[in-house]
Structure 1
């Protein structure tokens, strides 16, 4: 599929699509595709990042918003999986929207996706320095040391991605295995040790902590969301990025079949494990009001219940999981920038579309995304609520992306080519209804005044994007200069070339 689609110019008189130096190797296996989706979602990352904020806004009972989010995001994953099976091209939302709607709207969605990936990279990596390492090494976390530690983490991830995609994928596959085994083992240990020491207090599961009971379930006011509703941000921040598997479609063997499965399996498995982990931690909180004031509540519980040796060992596994999550995010951002640059549509595309002839990776695009991450990190780094601002923006942006994509699918689904890889069949309409209802509910939360800074970030990035889009349209002679390859040929090309692409790959 790759070579034929890439050979057709996407814009302008010149095209780099058919060059061997612009083509990625198709060597991502089914498990590695699942590992990308699983690693991006990373319950270890999301829960360690957002649990403290949930305690302060919703109290311990906020954990029961988790199943609501899991069901909602599972519906979204099924819809996006249907798109990924029909348009298995690197660049996911950008590619889907450009072909199904129009290239201008596709560019806008690509830019929104880029702004999301850039900030979620910072939010995830900042978690290592702000919520885990201070407990692991017994030092006081400050904005300054969190900044430089996070900067070093981003540099390390960029070096790995630029050096070797295969090594990055294998590292992530190992990290995901560690996270699966580690999180399940952590849940079992917490319940077992807590029961032996009589520390489990299941009354916490129905406690609102320091939050008043009156109006707890209320929808809220014009600029204020209700306490329980705010708790959904824990799951909404965590269970995102499953579509990242689609961003490596051109590197994945049999992407129409493999990518959708990787997406929904990641959401479902992480949803179950995450709920069990939340129940264990919440039952072991002790005094939820006291622990709600801690910047590192999850790590505090693990160290207290399991002791310093076992607790620290498990925290090391958590660091590996979070590092892997950031690695996948940076990898996904790199591929998006590369895909948009290949179509000559990203600022500075002349540099970012190139594939290193020796490393076979988009080195320039990797460096670029890492640098943007450093800039965003520097802007947020001196704020006392930096983590909340980062994770809030990283929750708002995917909600926008998912809502637009699901609505677009609902409007255009009858015009899509058939797929042999994945289909919703008779469940398509119920899944769409549930996905749209969930996303409308989620977006309504962001009317809360506490999200002023995330909205500011979104406004600034949208403004920068609008300026470049205006330049792009003028320089290309209008929207017609952004014409994309035709959609109709994608499935036939995939069917014709799938065997050739697969057989050409070296054995593992």
Structure 2
């Protein structure tokens, strides 16, 4: 597959030509959209964009996509991968997802291996789309250009809301898990302490506020912070991995009744703890892998802050999913060969409410349990911050297209930091509202984990479905592409997502055991929201929402040889004055 990856060069001189221009500034650049060999809201209209300064290739691409360059491109290939890998947060993600993987089908690494294969196919297809459409709005922009004209606004609308639900629930779910682990560690050191929902909510709120402050900083500082966080995450992951294998003293802790490591037959065996057949239970356990591996889309949303985005962003997506999947698999093997009693972990005899911490108490000394948990908490902090950063860029991008009420506020970029600060803080507010689900019980708050999985899948896969079906003859791949493997990999990813969407809505019990407390509320939270926004679209939004909208000044766009100016891809005519007044 890697042999099929291609890199095609584009000549700057063919698309960006500095010149002297009367009536403009002394140095002007012209970006000829159709010469860029890409698909955008301005392509195939013979449009030339006049810019009052010299532009580089990255700015030429974003201009041709229809947007101003509003951010500094201070992320490079490594730092954008750093954000993505930090959002992945393997150590805290694996710790947070015991309930959704190990306590569903057992400790075997087999579910992880199978799920990662399909998740990686989704990531590879997404990377190809990111190379073709390197803009912060991500998959909705791609959908708007690939979908049939009649259905493009609606499909873009649904993709936007799905992706936004994925992003907006990421930081609260990560920080909720991190707060629970902090309080579990206190309970471990002080058995008389029992955390309440109020304690968890308050601590999660504090973490969220700190992350909002960090996410409002200038891009250069954010790049440095996330690079540091990724380094810590990698180091801490290796340290905890070594602690689990080398510090494992379960043979002496259980007086020789168990060996130091499980036998192969035990480590690789499946243990169905649901009321469904083992095959269904296996698929249900993929939620733990899907959530642990989520975050590889972050480079897509940082494309407008990254240099050489059409190559660096897809490479970061592929690297995150591939490296993350491999490291996670090795971590699963370590857990499988050291776990003592899954039933005891499920019963939580320590009262910690954190299966991962309970697992550590079975194999490590007290001091090592504290150390491993502390490193996991620190990794969780960096992960939550990266999630907040990515979500704020999504909110900014969709506000730029006018999707939300109050979009004119959320799309503003603070001149001091050149970052979308308003988008950061509205995300914080909405995240705090979603965290109120914890007061409705564990099942309700658990919905934000599975909602993120489904919502992300819908968003990631919609452009892939379109590019291998209705758009297969006019999709223009970017510099990073899958070549002849594009359709087969895309078909596998679409089939996997189509299978998993209903599976992720299954409750773990059925029949008479299915009560409101045991219900999987994902179907209500996600599809209920999707139903509401669908009604909104057909009742009202279809009148004004058309998908991505250019924010270039209308006098920058010139149509063909006639010299007529165009506004957002439409020729300036007698309706222009009315349009200008509305703008």
Decide: shared fold, TM above 0.5.
yes
Q: Distance in 1 between matches of 2:60 and 2:535?
A: 33
Q: Distance in 2 between matches of 1:5 and 1:84?
A: 13
Higher alpha-carbon deviation: 362-371 or 42-51: 42-51
Instruction: Tell whether the 8 Å contact from 1:57 to 1:231 is kept in structure 2 after alignment.
Output: yes
Question: Counting helix residues as a fraction of each chain, which structure ranks higher?
Answer: 1
Q: TM-score, normalised by structure 2?
A: 0.73
1:199 to 253, 260, 263: 260
Q: Distance in 2 between matches of 1:286 and 1:449?
A: 27
2:114 is the counterpart of 1:68: yes
Alignment-derived partner of residue 471 in structure 1 = 540
Instruction: Tell whether the 8 Å contact from 1:48 to 1:131 is kept in structure 2 after alignment.
Output: no
1:52–1:199 distance in 2 versus 1, CA, 3 Å: farther
Instruction: Tell whether the 8 Å contact from 1:99 to 1:106 is kept in structure 2 after alignment.
Output: no
1:215–1:92 distance in 2 versus 1, CA, 3 Å: closer
2:413 to 355, 363, 367: 355
1:7–1:79 distance in 2 versus 1, CA, 3 Å: closer
Q: Distance in 2 between matches of 1:119 and 1:5?
A: 31
**C-alpha distance after superposition, 1:344-391 (max 9, x if no partner):** 232211101111111211111111011000011113434133453221
2:126 is the counterpart of 1:80: yes
Alignment-derived partner of residue 461 in structure 1 = 529
2:496 is the counterpart of 1:438: yes
Q: TM-score, normalised by structure 1?
A: 0.84
Instruction: Tell whether the 8 Å contact from 1:284 to 1:301 is kept in structure 2 after alignment.
Output: no
**Long gaps (5+) in structure 2:** 1-56, 252-258, 509-518, 552-583
2:481 is the counterpart of 1:423: yes
1:356–1:189 distance in 2 versus 1, CA, 3 Å: same
Instruction: Tell whether the 8 Å contact from 1:303 to 1:312 is kept in structure 2 after alignment.
Output: no
**C-alpha distance after superposition, 1:97-148 (max 9, x if no partner):** 1222223321221111111111222211111122354125634343222221
Alignment-derived partner of residue 299 in structure 1 = 357
Larger radius of gyration: 2
1:216–1:456 distance in 2 versus 1, CA, 3 Å: closer
Instruction: Tell whether the 8 Å contact from 2:58 to 2:308 is kept in structure 1 after alignment.
Output: no
Q: 1:278-357, aligned counterparts within 5 Å?
A: 278-294=332-348, 295-357=353-415
2:425 to 363, 367, 371: 367
1:187–1:379 distance in 2 versus 1, CA, 3 Å: closer
User: What is the DSSP-based 3-state SS (H/G/I as helix, E as strand, rest coil) of the residue aligned with 2:473?
Assistant: helix
Instruction: Tell whether the 8 Å contact from 1:41 to 1:240 is kept in structure 2 after alignment.
Output: yes
Instruction: Tell whether the 8 Å contact from 2:346 to 2:355 is kept in structure 1 after alignment.
Output: yes
1:332–1:413 distance in 2 versus 1, CA, 3 Å: farther
1:108 to 158, 173, 182: 158
Q: How far apart are 1:209 and its partner, in Å?
A: 4.7
Q: Distance in 1 between matches of 2:119 and 2:456?
A: 11
Alignment-derived partner of residue 222 in structure 1 = none
Instruction: Tell whether the 8 Å contact from 2:216 to 2:421 is kept in structure 1 after alignment.
Output: yes
2:473 to 414, 417, 420: 414
Instruction: Tell whether the 8 Å contact from 2:216 to 2:417 is kept in structure 1 after alignment.
Output: yes
Instruction: Tell whether the 8 Å contact from 1:143 to 1:383 is kept in structure 2 after alignment.
Output: no
Instruction: Tell whether the 8 Å contact from 1:126 to 1:146 is kept in structure 2 after alignment.
Output: yes
Q: How far apart are 1:47 and its partner, in Å?
A: 1.2
**Long gaps (5+) in structure 1:** 11-16, 219-225, 487-508
1:215–1:2 distance in 2 versus 1, CA, 3 Å: closer
Quote the RMSD (CA, aligned, Å). 2.7
**C-alpha distance after superposition, 1:417-472 (max 9, x if no partner):** 2422x111122233123222322332241352456411111134224433553433
Q: How far apart are 1:66 and its partner, in Å?
A: 0.5
Q: 1:152-167, aligned counterparts within 5 Å?
A: 152-167=206-221
Q: Distance in 2 between matches of 1:482 and 1:382?
A: 36
Q: Higher relative contact order by CA 8 Å / sep ≥ 6: 1 or 2?
A: 1
1:216–1:364 distance in 2 versus 1, CA, 3 Å: same
User: What is the DSSP-based 3-state SS (H/G/I as helix, E as strand, rest coil) of the residue aligned with 2:442?
Assistant: coil
